[in-house]
Structure 1
Amino acid sequence: MTTSPATPTATIRTVLDQAVAENGYPAMFAEIRDGKQSWFASAGVADLSSGRAPRQGDQFRIGSVTKTFTATIVLQLAAEYQLSLDDTVDRWLPGLVRGNGHDGTRITIRQLLGHTSGIFGYTLDPTMIERFYSPAMLEHRFDVYRPDQLIDLATSNPADFEPGTDWGYSNTNFVLAAMIIEKVTGQTYADVLDQRIARPLGLTGTYAPGSETEIRGTHGRTYSKLMLPDIDAPVHDVTDLSATYGFGVGELISTATDLNTFLSELLSGRLLPPAQLEEMLTMTPVPDGKWLDGYSYGLGISSVTLPNGTTVYGHGGMITGTWTYLYGTRDGQRILTQNVNGDWGMPPLDIFPELLTAAFPTQS
């Protein structure tokens, strides 16, 4: 790949090397897109068995970066007047969100995308924590969930707050958003994603796997210590799993090149009309202790101002075995995807922002 003269390669390589040497990740890689130029680098191994290095073009699970894809589709449908962001959840999914302070007649689609609905996050349900954030994950990694089951888990818990009165990151919001996409279009979420984003942008490595448990294309392996805090806890290969518990939320599989293309096209205005893009990028500061301190959130996308004064837009994502960060400048000209193939560290926030700062120039 071409190396951009503005890319501080030595600094970035140092961060990658430290991720492996000091944090113990099997590998970390980064791909920067700067206009029409790209640069890829990695440290460590993508496969502990074979010892091969990460390759540009490897597919991997992107976790909650999925949310930005889901929000983009919803905003496209809004631009086409197929739905309104002011529609209630009940308008499209009548009777689904009920109980324990949840009321779908009072929650709007905009509140779903902006995490202001107050709906309890189903991934915080005690059953889900036990199954997916403990050693029991090995027994449950191939469990299959329907979206309505995830909503039932959420509403079996008390609502976090009254709709529109606070901010709270909840994966349940984007399960509902993806269900609404299916209801409005009459198609599966996977097909809509393919037709509206993947195929038009030529994202040949990006797809929603549904109930598939293996990654289709060339890929490395991902590893987990099953949330055990011991630094010497055994490492397990968790590459193959059912991501149905991340429907519309964290299930997508992609590549670094595809992610950089997607975010570049989104931020530069080629996926959404100006009104919808402006609404997506209208940021609300995240209250301290509610998610990532110092970040702001729009509709399915976040922003952070780096120590050098540059503000970048994008999303992070975690799913069992891997962490990903995707951020770029507001004009979509410079984009960075970075990934580690281990899920310990909650998340590796000492690494990802450091790499962001190294990758993005100081604003003049």
Structure 2
Amino acid sequence: MSESLHTVKNDRARTPRVSRRVAVTALAAALLAGAATPAVAAADSRPVSKAAAGQDRPELQKAIQDIVDLGLAGVQLRVHDERGEWAGSAGVSKLGQSAKPPTNGRFWTGSVNKPLTATLVLQLVAEGKIGLDDPVADYLPKLGLDQRITVRMMLQHTSGLFNYTGDFDADGKWETGIPGMGKEWLDNRFHSYQPEELVRLALSKPARFEPGTDQRYANTNYTLALLLIEKVTGRSYAKEMERRILRPLGMRGTVVLGDRTQLPGPHAHGYLRYQDDAGQWKVVDVSRQNDSLLAGAGALISTTQDLQTFISALLGGKLLPAPLLAEMRKPYGKLGYGLGLWVQDLGPNCGGIVYQHNGSPPAGYGTLMYSSPDGKKTLTASLTTGDAAADPAALYPKVVERLLKEEFCNGKAAG
């Protein structure tokens, strides 16, 4: 699928197929670690309406069943539009069992975290504590950052910083970073990383390009944003997230990870299919993982309800003043990326522009978050991979196209 569609595939760390023995099962996303983790609230117990129970939107129920039939283990989907709110699930919560995924179960989000991080930075800009076009080095002098890298460049992926999960060099050759996929990640999946450690690893590598002259998606930018937030506020990223976004919006199912390795409460299980050293295919449950590997860029646990709440509030103007929201929504460069949001044109069949950010931790899970410009029509989903031989990297574009067709395009193909 072309880059202009900005599917979950966009959150892949641009990782090539280094070996056929490694099954590509996740998108390389930037997650968040090292910050203190707030206490976990009880599983969301808000009553589900009859509509939300999946009884009046058969086209959506069929769509998610069709997606499962492509080779995924399970899907949780939530939409909010002029017909109200609907939530449903298909597939299984755990391989070998018959129960469906919980309609509001928790999951590892991956890079869906980036818009929340960008929102925190822009709130500090609104308060005059950060200048959007100030050098990041002015706030974090001990890192030795290029003085030309501004806060804006950091948020729109134009800093040129090396992506610590791996990146291409000037000759187009892949330069390895911290393993973020396949068996290498699996063998190291409970390792704990600190945000500054990740940024310093990136800074030990040559810049990919001169600041502001190109655009390349890099997890490093949002781990750097985490450090910026903590330095300016004097509080942990987790506390700022709780204070500024989660608590005001009532996002009770969302948690900043830190070193957490267990999904709390009801959740669907995700799996990694890979080849071992002997060349044998194996499937392992990766519901437990330490995603501090991606600090600040995607290390959240959340629910479809909470993500719907966030994106609706953001685009509805409840989290940022209008001028800064406009900056956030402004597409830039070859990626069409704003300040923490992808700007995607679905074409005339679908009413034009949507704003989104999709993501995935290293394995087992994928997340979708889409909204109309006014925040009134939203689609949020969690996908879990199972034991099918199908490559999730190839499945995700089909999944996104199917769901956008039903919710934003009135059953028509996008374009």
**TM-score normalised according to structure 2 size:** 0.78
Tell me the residue number matched to 1:60.
107
How far did residue 322 of structure 1 move?
0.7
Inter-partner Cα distance in structure 2 for 1:227 and 1:80: 51
Pick from 304, 313, 318 the counterpart of residue 360 of structure 2.
Answer: 318
How far did residue 49 of structure 1 move?
4.4
Inter-partner Cα distance in structure 2 for 1:274 and 1:141: 41
Where do residues 1-364 of structure 1 align in structure 2 (5 Å cutoff)?
Answer: 1-3=49-51, 9-22=57-70, 24-34=71-81, 37-98=84-145, 103=146, 105-124=147-166, 128=177, 131-226=179-274, 233-284=281-332, 286-287=334-335, 296-307=336-347, 308-310=349-351, 311-319=353-361, 320-342=363-385, 344-346=391-393, 348-361=396-409
Q: Secondary structure at 2:287's aligned position in 1? A: coil
1:123-153 Cα offsets, whole Å, 9 max, x none, are 1165545x33121222201001111111122
State the superposition RMSD in angstroms: 2.3
Q: Secondary structure at 1:169's aligned position in 2? A: coil
Conservation of the 8 A alpha-carbon contact between 1:316 and 1:325: yes
* Paired residue type of 1:299: L
How far did residue 276 of structure 1 move?
0.8
Q: Secondary structure at 2:90's aligned position in 1? A: strand
* Paired residue type of 1:192: E
1:61-113 Cα offsets, whole Å, 9 max, x none, are 11000000000010111001111111212111113145xxxx2x110011010
Conservation of the 8 A alpha-carbon contact between 1:133 and 1:226: no
1:13-43 Cα offsets, whole Å, 9 max, x none, are 3332222222x11111210012682101221
- Gapped runs of 5+ residues in structure 1? 288-295
Conservation of the 8 A alpha-carbon contact between 1:97 and 1:151: no
Q: Which moved more, 1:149-158 or 1:63-72?
A: 149-158
How far did residue 185 of structure 1 move?
0.7
1:182-229 Cα offsets, whole Å, 9 max, x none, are 01111111111011000000000011010111122321211112489x
* Paired residue type of 2:378: I
Conservation of the 8 A alpha-carbon contact between 2:121 and 2:225: yes
- Between the aligned residues of both structures, percent identity stands at 39
Closer, same or farther: CA 266–134 of 1 in aligned 2, 3 Å: same
Closer, same or farther: CA 187–212 of 1 in aligned 2, 3 Å: same
Conservation of the 8 A alpha-carbon contact between 1:133 and 1:227: no
| Equivalent residue pairs, number | 343
How far did residue 161 of structure 1 move?
0.8
Q: Secondary structure at 2:379's aligned position in 1? A: strand
Q: Which moved more, 1:110-119 or 1:349-358?
A: 349-358
Inter-partner Cα distance in structure 2 for 1:226 and 1:286: 33
Q: Which moved more, 1:307-316 or 1:170-179?
A: 307-316
Inter-partner Cα distance in structure 1 for 2:333 and 2:78: 28
How far did residue 250 of structure 1 move?
1.2
Q: Secondary structure at 2:359's aligned position in 1? A: strand
Q: Secondary structure at 1:351's aligned position in 2? A: helix
How far did residue 240 of structure 1 move?
0.9
Inter-partner Cα distance in structure 1 for 2:408 and 2:56: 9
Inter-partner Cα distance in structure 2 for 1:217 and 1:92: 38
How far did residue 174 of structure 1 move?
0.2
Inter-partner Cα distance in structure 2 for 1:354 and 1:78: 38
Conservation of the 8 A alpha-carbon contact between 1:132 and 1:140: no
Conservation of the 8 A alpha-carbon contact between 1:306 and 1:357: no
Q: Which moved more, 1:234-243 or 1:301-310?
A: 301-310
Conservation of the 8 A alpha-carbon contact between 2:77 and 2:103: no
**TM-score normalised according to structure 1 size:** 0.88
Closer, same or farther: CA 226–122 of 1 in aligned 2, 3 Å: farther
Inter-partner Cα distance in structure 2 for 1:14 and 1:26: 15
Q: Secondary structure at 1:21's aligned position in 2? A: helix
Q: Secondary structure at 1:318's aligned position in 2? A: coil
Conservation of the 8 A alpha-carbon contact between 2:271 and 2:384: yes
Inter-partner Cα distance in structure 1 for 2:104 and 2:67: 21
Q: Secondary structure at 1:30's aligned position in 2? A: strand
* Paired residue type of 1:304: Q
Inter-partner Cα distance in structure 1 for 2:248 and 2:109: 20
